[in-house]
């Protein structure tokens, strides 16, 4: 996590240790991956999707191996910092990206989020010109239910996150992706 993100979010410095551990595990796993496969990259929503376990435990009938490279609390700036480990080391033929929801939740400026997203797409297209890129829209969020957090935490959790904001940002990212031919 970047220093700026940590300052903006007031997240515990321990999250950077957790992120480093996850990224280090991915770096080690990348040494034995099959190239020209599929990678999912993003934040916690991606990280918790058990696609690798599903492939191992079930015959999904897929022609490709799917590698999950999601990292909790990751922002677009963090992804830019770790593109080699999370994407380029895998040399994927397809890249599915779901990043930016933490930028919004941490109140990182829209300008910075969109600029970073544009740079992510530019780098992938430059370094992996034959890879197909899929920019995923943000998932709807449930702001009403209690998830076990303190009452004051609930309001803080959704202070900058809303479905209206996510939908608007998805449309802006779609526009950037379209400009990139994605």
Q: What is the pLDDT of residues 131-158, one digit of tens each?
A: 999 998 877 777 776 666 666 665 666 7
Entry pTM: 0.86
Tell me, what's the pLDDT at 56?
Answer: 84
Confidence at residue 43, expressed as pLDDT on a 0 to 100 scale: 93
Calculate the average pLDDT of the chain. 88
| Integer Cα distance of 110 and 96 in angstroms | 21
**pLDDT tens-digit map of 74-99:** 999 999 999 999 999 999 999 999 99
- The pLDDT of residue 15: 84
* Radius of gyration, CA atoms only, the chain: 16
Q: What is the pLDDT of residue 53?
A: 86
- For residue 177, the 8-state DSSP code is H
Q: Which residues of the chain have pLDDT under 70?
A: 1-12, 145-157
Q: Which tokens is 27 given?
A: 């770096």
102 and 74 Cβ atoms separated by less than 8 Å? yes
């Amino acid at each position: 996590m970047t220093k700026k993100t940590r300052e903006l979010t007031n997240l515990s410095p321990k999250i950077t240790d957790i992120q480093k551990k996850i990224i280090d595990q991915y770096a080690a796993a990348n040494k034995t991956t099959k190239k020209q496969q599929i990678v999912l990259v993003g934040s916690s929503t991606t990280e918790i999707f058990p696609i690798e376990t599903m492939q191992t435990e079930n015959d999904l009938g897929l022609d490709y191996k799917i590698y999950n490279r999601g990292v909790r609390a990751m922002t677009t700036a963090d992804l830019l910092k770790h593109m080699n480990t999370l994407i380029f080391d895998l040399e994927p033929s397809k890249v599915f990206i779901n990043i930016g929801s933490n930028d919004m939740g941490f109140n990182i400026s829209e300008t910075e989020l969109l600029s970073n997203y544009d740079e992510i797409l530019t780098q992938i297209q430059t370094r992996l010109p034959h890879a197909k890129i899929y920019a995923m829209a943000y998932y709807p969020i449930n702001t009403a239910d209690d998830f076990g957090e303190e009452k004051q935490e609930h309001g803080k959790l959704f202070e900058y996150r809303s479905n209206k904001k996510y939908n608007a940002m998805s449309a802006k990212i779609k526009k950037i992706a379209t400009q990139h031919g994605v």
